[in-house]
Every structure is written in C-alpha cells, then in structure tokens.
Amino acid sequence: MNLASALAELGDRLGIGVIKLDQNGGCLLAFDDKLVVDIEQATDTPGFHLTATVGPVPGHER
C-alpha cells in the first residue's frame, strides 16, 4: 500500500472523505482543533514523515 492509498483509507475510516496529498507530496490533518499532523512523502527513502507538536517542553516556556 502506498501513502496515497493509506490516506484515502484513513479518510474513509474517519468518515471525512478522501484525504489527498498536495502538489508537494504532503497534507495537514487537524484533530479537535488542537493537534495538527503534517504528513509528507519521503523523497530519499520509501516511506513518509509524520510531524506534530504534542506539547511544550518543560522549562522552555515562551
């Protein structure tokens, strides 16, 4: 299964319709308006990258 197929299946399972990669090979998903997950197709290896900020680092408040 490739990333495009996996995202389409994820969208179906979540009931939000088809999730597609943009022209740069990535997409953003937001959950509960709090957690944003960046999904990008890897260019140097087979696979993909997931990036998300899940919380602050203790002692590094802004």
pLDDT, tens only, 8-24: 999 999 999 989 999 99
Q: Is residue 10 part of a domain?
A: no
Q: Residue 51 in 3-state DSSP?
A: strand
Question: For residue 5, what pLDDT is reported?
Answer: 92
38 is in which domain, residue-wise?
24-53
Total number of domains in the chain: 1
62 band by pLDDT with thresholds 50, 70 and 90: low
Residue 48 neighbours by CB distance under 10 Å = 16
Instruction: Say how far residue 26 (Cα) sits from the centre of its chain.
Output: 8
- Using CA atoms in the order 31, 53, 51, 30, what is the torsion angle rounded to 10 degrees? 20
Q: Is residue 11 part of a domain?
A: no
Give the global pTM: 0.74
Question: For residue 34, what pLDDT is reported?
Answer: 85
Sheet holding 48-52, edge to edge: 26-31, 35-41, 48-52
Q: Is residue 49 part of a domain?
A: yes
